[in-house]
Amino acid sequence: MPVSAEKILDTGATQVRPRTVVFAVVPGGHGEPGEDEALAEIKELLRSADMEWVADVIQHREVPNPHSYLGKGKMSELKAAIAENQAAVAVCEDDLTPAQVAAVLDAVDADVLDRTELILTVFSKHAHSLEGTLQVHLAQLEYELTRMRGKGLVMSRLGAGVDMRGPGETKLEVDRRVVRRRIQTLRRRIEQMARTRRTQRARRLRTGVPLIALAGYTNAGKSTLLNALTDAHVSVQDRLFETLDPTSRSFRYRDRDYVLTDTVGFIRKLPHQLVDAFASTLEETTLADVVLVVADASLEAPEIAVREKTVADVLHRIGSTAPQIVVFNKIDKVDEAKLHRLRALYPEAVFVAAAKGVGLDDLQERLARFFDRALRPVRLLFPYTEAREMHRLRGVASDVHEEHTPDGVVFEARLPAAEAGRYARFRLEPELPDEELAEEDDERSPDEDPHG
């Protein structure tokens, strides 16, 4: 049984950073592309988990050994590296099967964590709210459940001292039952909390304020961008998964309010248990009118591409269908030539340095244009008898101006296309002649219309 994330946490709490050896199987020969990044990332995760990296043991082969992950020789090297460096933990760059964990534990004198457990450890260190803590705990239990297979892999911490065995149940079956029950309870509590947030969100949706979600790889600068555009003061740190709880704040630009939401970041091989456990948090992203995909411009081009794909995959996995605007951040760390190349490669992207306040006007202008296109300008006249329709309109329209006249209330506002149809009978005169509206429709690029 690998050491639980909580045990590592305890060690961290006493301010001792556990000395850690990283081991990995990397396909191909030395210096393959991707190897450096994968190892650099695992070290970033270690740093974010308050663990101290002391050595690497890398095996170059196409696939890991199915039984022991490392081959015999490399396993001895790992054992030696642990002894030599007085390491307390061995962290695998990959996920391990229960059998592989058992084999490594057998061979070395240290605790063993795999990639998912390391990510879960980082998450548990950074969870501050009750909801975040419960979500991380849920993901941990879900992962442990997948590990509770086969003889000997029992959860001694659960149900300790109490014989809860039903007729014919083995210790393992009991343990699984206990974990499943705790998972159910956690799910229920998280769902209750999600309901509260949904009510708040429904209120926002009713007011018709454009919703913008920040998404992207962890540490890209999403929270920095939120702070720069709004009066939020969320925590910004140069470490992975600093943000776990969603924060929504509004900002005003050219007479219109926008709501911007910052949520948890993504990483390659993001454990699906975390995606599931954070489903209600990630809902914030799926319900937005537009997603700002924040990317770190200061990385090398191949790494930018890998992260772009990772983020696209996760967004797809959580069912986000909203149009996206790519925002390259940290351009203050990039020289002119590279910036030029990036602009050529990503002609649709916006380039900013959120920490320096650079490019924020461009971004706001881009968002304003996006919502200008998505929302139809209308001029409507409501007889005073239509109080209910007027009330409803105020809920769904943006940029509303009202004027009381002898004939009724004249509204100038912007509406989603579907809503504009509903109010056709109140239409006073179109802002634009119909042909022009049709032309505007043609110009609209397909990835930039949140309402149809």
Ligand X SMILES: Nc1nc2c(ncn2[C@@H]2O[C@H](COP(=O)(O)OP(=O)(O)OP(=O)(O)O)[C@@H](O)[C@H]2O)c(=O)[nH]1
Applying CB under 6 A, the residues found at the interface with ligand X are: 218-224, 236-238, 240-243, 265, 329-330, 332-333, 353-356
CB of 266 to ligand X, least distance (A): 8
Please, what is the minimum distance in Å from the beta carbon of residue 221 to Mg ion?
8
CB closer to ligand X out of 215 and 390: 215
Task: Using the minimum distance from each CB to ligand X, give the nearer residue, 68 or 219.
Answer: 219
Nearer to ligand X, 221 or 246 (CB): 221
Closest to ligand X by CB, 42 vs 397, is 42
Of the pair 128, 181, the CB lying nearest Mg ion is at 128
Closest approach of Cβ 93 to Mg ion, in Å?
24
Give me the least distance between CB of 239 and ligand X, in Å please: 7
Binding site residues, Mg ion, CB under 5 A: 223, 242-243
Q: Which residues pair with 56 in a beta bridge?
A: 22
| Smallest distance, Mg ion to C-beta of residue 122, A | 13
| Contacted by 356, from Mg ion, ligand X, none: CB < 5 to 8 Å by type | ligand X
Of 334 and 396, the one with the shorter C-beta distance to ligand X is: 334
CB-based closest residue to Mg ion: 243
According to DSSP, the β-strands at 256-262 and 247-253 are: antiparallel
Work out the burial of residue 344: count CB atoms within 10 Å of its CB; fewer than 13 is exposed, 13-18 middle, 19 or more buried.
exposed
User: Of Mg ion, ligand X, none, which one does residue 287 interact with (CB within 5 to 8 Å by kind)?
Assistant: none
Partners of 250 in beta bridges: 259
Residue with tokens 């990036």: 342
329's contact among ligand X, Mg ion, none, with CB below 5 to 8 A by partner kind, is ligand X
Assigned token pair, 284: 């914030």
Interaction partner, residue 241 (Mg ion, ligand X, none; CB < 5-8 Å by kind): ligand X
CB of 353 to Mg ion, least distance (A): 16
**Which letter does DSSP use for residue 450 in this model?**
T
In sequence order, the β-bridge partners of residue 89 are 20, 111
| Residue 80, amino acid | A
When the beta carbons of 242 and 289 are compared against Mg ion, the nearer one is 242
Binds 353, which of ligand X, Mg ion, none (CB < 5 to 8 A, cut-off by type)?
Answer: ligand X
**Number of other CB atoms surrounding residue 86 within 10 Å:** 9
The residue nearest ligand X at its CB is: 265
Q: How far apart are CA 77 and CA 236, in angstroms?
A: 39
The helix-helix angle for 115-126 and 35-48 (nearest 10°) equals: 40
> Which phi and psi (to 5°) does residue 162 adopt?
-110, 130
Give whichever of 150 and 357 is closer to Mg ion, judged by the CB atom. Answer: 357
Measured N-to-C along each axis, helices 5-13 and 115-126 cross at an angle, to the nearest 10 degrees, of 50
266 interface partner picked from ligand X, Mg ion, none, CB below 5 to 8 A per type: none
CB of 236 to Mg ion, least distance (A): 7
Long-range contacts of 359-367 (CB under 8 A, 24+ apart): 359/331, 360/228, 360/229, 363/229, 363/292, 363/327, 364/229, 364/251, 364/253, 364/254, 366/325, 367/210, 367/212, 367/253, 367/258, 367/290, 367/325
- Cα-Cα-Cα-Cα torsion 126, 130, 135, 141, nearest 10 degrees, comes to 90
Binding partner of 450, given ligand X, Mg ion, none, CB within 5-8 angstroms per partner class: none
CB 221 within 8 A of CB 355: yes
Closest approach of ligand X to the CB of residue 123, in Å: 11
To ligand X, the closest distance from the beta carbon of 139 in angstroms equals 16
Picked from Mg ion, ligand X, none, the partner binding residue 129 (CB below 5 to 8 A depending on kind) is none
Nearer Cβ to ligand X (99/236): 236
Report the 10 Å Cβ neighbour count for 187: 16
